[in-house]
């Protein structure tokens, strides 16, 4: 994952040393959230396969899943802000700055 980022911004060795801890810390924080989200899916399938639907349990599970998504979103936003506040010089990232044109020349 880091190699893709490095290529995208044409990172120098110094920039790689700055970016690596930010990205690795974010990944370490997000991995448990990802596992928990998958667990909530399994729980939802179990609840929905019961003979009678426990609406309160489903609503509680929905609130838990929304909370997990919110936590993940906050962590990603924090990591992105950390990356963008680095002084990357010419190799700075800009949203949509690397998209290819969809028009074709004939």
| Own/partner long-range contacts of 6-15 (Cβ < 8 Å, ≥24 apart) | 8/93, 8/98, 9/88, 9/91, 9/92, 9/93, 10/90, 10/91, 11/88, 11/91, 12/91, 15/86, 15/88, 15/91
- Report pLDDT digits (tens) over 7-23: 877 788 888 888 889 98
- Report pLDDT digits (tens) over 32-75: 999 999 999 999 999 999 999 999 999 999 999 999 999 999 99
The helix/strand/coil state of 53 is coil
Closest CA to 22 of 7, 6, 35: 6
Residue 87, pLDDT above cutoff 90:
no
pTM comes to 0.68
- For residue 15, the tally of other CB atoms under 10 A from its CB is 19
Phi-psi region for residue 101, left (φ > 0), alpha (ψ -120 to 50) or beta?
Answer: beta
Residue 101, pLDDT above cutoff 50:
no
Taking the domain 2-84, which CATH number applies?
A: 1.20.120.1490
């Amino acid at each position: 994952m880091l190699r893709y980022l490095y290529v995208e911004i044409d990172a120098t060795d110094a920039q790689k040393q700055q970016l690596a801890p930010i990205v690795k810390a974010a990944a370490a924080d997000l991995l448990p959230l990802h596992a928990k989200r998958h667990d909530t899916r399994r729980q939802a399938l179990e609840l929905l396969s019961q003979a009678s639907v426990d609406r309160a349990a489903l609503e509680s599970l929905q609130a838990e899943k929304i909370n997990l998504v919110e936590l993940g979103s906050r962590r990603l936003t924090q990591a992105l802000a950390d990356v963008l506040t680095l002084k990357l010089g010419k190799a700075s990232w800009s949203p949509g700055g690397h998209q290819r044109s969809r028009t074709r020349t004939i």
